[in-house]
Amino acid sequence: MDFITKCVFVLARVRAWVRKIEYAIGEQSPADHQGEKVSGGQDLPRDAVHAVISFDEETIRAAESESNRQYRTQNSIKKATWGAVIAASVYAFISLFVWWQMVKQNRIAEAQLRQSLESFRVDERAWIEIEPIKPVLKNPASSGFGALFTYNIYPKNVGKTGAFDIIAKAIRGAPMSDLSLGDNADEIGRYQNMLSSNSAGMPEVLVSRRVPKTLGPGMVSISPFDIYGQEPQVFKNGSVYQFLVGRIDYTDAFRVKHWMTFCFFISDASGNIQYCQEGNDKDRNPELPPN
């Protein structure tokens, strides 16, 4: 028997007790006193009568007995009334406590249901990744210029439901810096946030014309979007690298917006790339709206 069932059982017992008290009160009533009826048409004597009334011992004992009985009756009614008040108070308190427990359990059940639904949607929603990127030589190195490579980026939906409204963006003309840029979360984030907000003055490649707007579960875009980059430039005081920075936005089957970002740098003369320390992330948007 769970807690609420026990409380309901106790309430039923208290309610039965209150009804017994009410029945006892109804049974207890003051004794009826009947006096002699005087005929309405009878004339009362006009002369004053002086009389001394005395009662015998039996009448006195009967009067005392009647007085004691009335006192006991009134005392019983008083006790029964107080008992009913206490019982009603207990009944109200237990009812309030049971209601509070039910509200508490409903909230717990709602939280568990929300958590289960959130987990279900996270497990079932679309997840956009990108296929491994391989460099394709576009222009070989020449005097004063390093080799130029093309990087074909293929978005892929690794989730269990479709991805919609896909928009992929990347910086036009890869940023150049030493390796400290890839370690700088604020600077990489600035580039990627500009891609998100379509900020004026930021050169960007809108690749949605080539990448399909929708990808089903397990599907890879048949058309890539291309990013160009050059091999590192070596100077006396160090090397300068080009960074491939981009972002992909999409909507899942539950109409929740998501995004993923990427950041690579071209690490050698063969055009191989490595991940930046910062800038490769995914959103943490809740699958359910807040309460």
Q: How far is it, in rounded angstroms, from Cα 32 to Cα 13?
A: 35
Predicted confidence at residue 9, as pLDDT, reads: 66
Q: Which residue has the tokens 């017992």?
A: 13
- Residue-averaged pLDDT of the chain: 81
**C-alpha span between 273 and 260 (Å, rounded):** 19
The better pLDDT of the pair 271, 96 is held by: 271
| Confidence (pLDDT) at 35 | 43
CATH number of 128-282: 1.10.10, 3.40.50, 2.60.120, 2.60.40? 2.60.40
Distance CA 275, CA 81 (A): 83
Q: Which residues contact 140 (CB under 8 A, 6 or more apart)?
A: 147
Q: Express as a percent the part of the chain with pLDDT over 90.
A: 37
Q: Is the pLDDT assigned to residue 147 strictly greater than 60?
A: yes
Burial of residue 5 (CB within 10 Å: 0-12, 13-18, 19+) is exposed
pLDDT at 36: 45
pTM above 0.75, yes or no: no
| Location of structure tokens 């002699």 | 36
pLDDT digits (tens, 9 = 90+) for 183-201: 999 999 888 888 876 555 5
- Report the 3 state secondary structure along the chain: CCHHHHHHHHHHHHHHHHHHHHHHHHHCCCCCCCCCCCCCCCCCCCCCCCCCCCCCHHHHHHHHHHHHHHHHHHHHHHHHHHHHHHHHHHHHHHHHHHHHHHHHHHHHHHHHHHHHHHHHHHHHCCCEEECCCCEEEEECCECCECCEEEEEECEEECCCCCEEEEEEEEECCCCEECCHHHHCHHHHHHHHHHHHHCCCCCCEEECCCCCCCCECCCCECCCCEEEEEECCEEECCEEEEEEEEEEEEEECCCCCEEEEEEEEEECCCCCCEEECCCCCEECCCCCCCCC
Number of neighbouring beta carbons within 10 Å of residue 168: 25
Residue pLDDT, tens place only, 89-98: 887 888 888 8
CB contact at 8 A, 72 and 29: no
- All residues at 6 or more sequence positions from 256 whose CB lies less than 8 Å from its CB, including other chains: 121, 125, 285, 286, 287
